[in-house]
Chain A
Amino acid sequence: MSQQTNGYAHPEALVSTDWVAQHANDANVRVVEVDVDTTAYEQGHVPGAIGWNWSTELCDTVVRDIVPKAKLEKLMSAAGIGNDTTVVLYGDNNNWFAAWAFWQLRIYGHGDVRIMNGGRRKWMEEGRPLTTDPASPAPTTYRAHEPDLTIRSFLMDVRSAMGGETVLIDVRSPAEFTGEILAPPGLPETCQRGGHIPGAKNVPWGKACNEDGTFRSPEELAALYGGVGVSKDKPVIAYCRIGERSSHTWFVLKYLLGHDNVRNYDGSWTEWGNLVGAPVERP
């Protein structure tokens, strides 16, 4: 590990670009790229890396849900990932969807999964090698665990948490939080109403990152979230629009700061903002 991981609660969950450069081709390591821009992998990726498409491979494409267990098993097997493989995830936009994949792999109990600090941008800015050759690993037979839903929040959990000790963190931009806009600029509107869940605190996901895409120091992160009332004795539920930005914040709180009781509400604003009669707060 590099010095970048010093001081985090679970430094084993984070690797540096240096580490990936040295270990990407180790027999027990599989590097996987997951991007917001699903065409980015084809332009060039870390040599040996597999590419996953979040919109088709990391979800149920019929029902709105996370990837089903059997589908994940096929995906992992085809990627040459065994139950003991070290999976290193990275992607564009400071690892948005890498964190989404990380969260799902933890739901299905994969033991050793890590994120490359800084993601695709840092790898490219450092001038590290890229290839357009797709990886072709030997397939495995992967067996996922039954889903651990203690790290996932559903609508009923959020409703139950409102007004209690749970800290709700809305990680969208301030303009989305206030209801000024219904979706990030340039993206389709996916909700009927703007605003936020009553009582939620707004901590945009990007505040957890440095300019180069790496995560901020443990001290800076503790101050950021402590400033809105997050503490280790209170449950936390993070949400955004579709659940990927909030999985990034979930990763920060759980693995970098060591909060045990953190859940990602992946229904997020596309669910809440479309519910008939759901309370909405606007400033």
Chain B
Amino acid sequence: MNAEEYIVRSETLNGWPVRLTSYRLEQRWFCAVDNVDPGACIARAEGASREEVERIAAYKAAGRLARTRRQ
């Protein structure tokens, strides 16, 4: 198998820029959300469609980003 329909797109969650990387491996979809700078993965999800995994991963990421404090 290989990664199909690989897409990276940018968004802002709770005021922080993030990247959503999603792709399909055979019938399963995966999404990882990273924090752009420095690029660490902060949430991920897998499921049956791109819409589903992006929604779940973005929800998890938004919760974690909400806990980041600016000094």
Residues of A within 8 A of B (CB): 36-37, 39-40, 43-44, 92-94, 96, 121, 124-125, 127-132, 172-175, 179-187, 189, 194, 204-206, 245
| Docked CA distance A93–B68 (Å) | 21
Contacts of A130 in B (CB 8 A): 1-3, 25
| Docked CA distance A142–B41 (Å) | 33
B contacts with A, residue count (CB < 8 A): 30
Contacts of A180 in B (CB 8 A): 70-71
The 5 closest A-B pairs by CB, nearest first: A186-B42, A37-B41, A186-B64, A124-B3, A185-B35
Contact partner of A93 (CB less than 8 A), chosen from B41, B43, B44, is B41
| Docked CA distance A245–B43 (Å) | 19
Q: Is B59 positioned at the interface, with any CB of A under 8 Å from its CB?
A: no
| Docked CA distance A94–B65 (Å) | 22
B45-71 contacts to A (CB < 8 Å)? 46, 61, 64-65, 67-71
Cβ–Cβ contact A93 & B64, under 8 A:
no
Interface hub of A40, A172, A182, A185 (most chain B Cβ within 10 A): A185
| Docked CA distance A243–B43 (Å) | 22
Contacts of B40 in A (CB 8 A): 36, 93, 184, 186-187
Contacts of A37 in B (CB 8 A): 32, 41, 44
| Docked CA distance A183–B34 (Å) | 14
Return B56 CB to nearest CB of chain A, in Å: 14
Cβ–Cβ contact A185 & B16, under 8 A:
yes
B1-58 contacts to A (CB < 8 Å)? 1-4, 6, 16, 21, 23, 25, 30, 32, 34-35, 37-44, 46
Contact partner of A186 (CB less than 8 A), chosen from B1, B32, B68, is B68
Contacts of B71 in A (CB 8 A): 179-182, 194
Given A181-B70, A185-B16, A186-B61, also A94-B3 (CB < 8 A): no
| Docked CA distance A211–B11 (Å) | 17
Given A124-B23, A129-B2, also A206-B70 (CB < 8 A): no
CB-nearest residue of chain A to B65: A186
CB-nearest residue of chain B to A172: B38
Contacts of B65 in A (CB 8 A): 185-186
